[in-house]
Amino acid sequence: MFQVVTGGPAGFAVFAVSAAAVALEAVTAARRGLRIHDRGELVATAIVALGHAGLRFAEGGVVVAVYAELWAHRLASIDATRWSGAIALFLAFEFVYYWYHRATHRVRWLWATHAVHHSTRRFNLTAALRLGWTGAVSGHFLFFAPLVFAGFSPAAVLTMGAIDLAWQFFVHTEMAPSLGPLEAILNTPRHHAVHHARNPDCLDRNFGGVLIVFDRLFGTFAERPAEPLVYGLVGRDPGGSVVEVVFGEWRRLIADLRAAPSIAVGLAGVFGPPSEVAPAFPAPVASAREQEIPPR
């Protein structure tokens, strides 16, 4: 996920709104007789989220330094406070985000960080808070650097990143109704549930941030399948181990690199796609929709 620096009143407001949304989701699920949370995963997610929040300040310094240098040598100046500039930035950011997100699933070096976000076996709002600690190591923020070099200010790009993340927080739920015609344009909870599922037809699908149009344009869009969705990582279940959640994919990557017969093979393993071979699957956890008891 794109790293955005928040703090002070803004950070408190984000926390308050997030907590209220999670509480509303939990109440809605309870009224429907659904179990959408697991205590072990909730504790692990809380620790991961706190660690991520602490590291964001250090990462923010790196991001600001790189973006400031690019801004000093920018090709143009685009005023994102004007409607034309704001729309241009929104569309450009969504385009870059689509390819960034797609790359985090297809390049193992990037996936080692992003896998943290997919490590929960239940799809709910708290899953949105499970973000990797090693985004700066993977270099995720570099994907958005061309926007600054092109002429959008670092503040404008970071603000758009915050808006994008805010929308994505609310798509991590199965409690939301269908958005009707907007489903054709926007990345909605229904679409994002597919993205988080590990069903074969759902892998590497629906990468959009706010918009789903680029998935439709570039052939990565998928509707929700008829069979129940199963969430989590392919081939391993980190459970409630924070160390395994945060560093499990890095440990596997380093082990494969050390065992590689040559440098070329090792580099192909590091920068190639993550392995899709799963020796075993943990027992499925039915999604909230599949848990629903039909009315009598």
Q: Where are the domains of the chain?
A: 39-282
pLDDT number for residue 143: 96
For 48-63, give one letter per residue: b (16+ CB within 10 A) or e: bbeebeebbeebbeeb
How would DSSP label each residue in the chain?
Answer: -------HHHHHHHHHHHHHHHHHHHHHHHHTT-----HHHHHHHHHHHHHHHHHHHHHHHHHHHHHHHHHHT-S----TTSHHHHHHHHHHHHHHHHHHHHHHHH-HHHHHHHGGGG--SS-SGGGGG---S-HHHHTGGGGGHHHHHHT--HHHHHHHHHHHHHHHHHTS-SSSPP-GGGGGTB--HHHHHHHHB-SGGGTT----SSB-HHHHHTT---PPPSSPP-BS-SS---TT-HHHHHHHHHHHHHHHHHH-SSHHHHHHHHHSPPP---S--PPP---HHHHPPPP-
- pLDDT tens figures, 185-244: 999 999 999 999 999 999 999 999 999 999 999 999 999 999 999 999 998 899 889 999
pLDDT number for residue 121: 93
Which positions of the chain have pLDDT values less than 70?
Answer: 1-15, 275-296
- pLDDT tens figures, 11-22: 566 667 888 888
pLDDT number for residue 12: 60
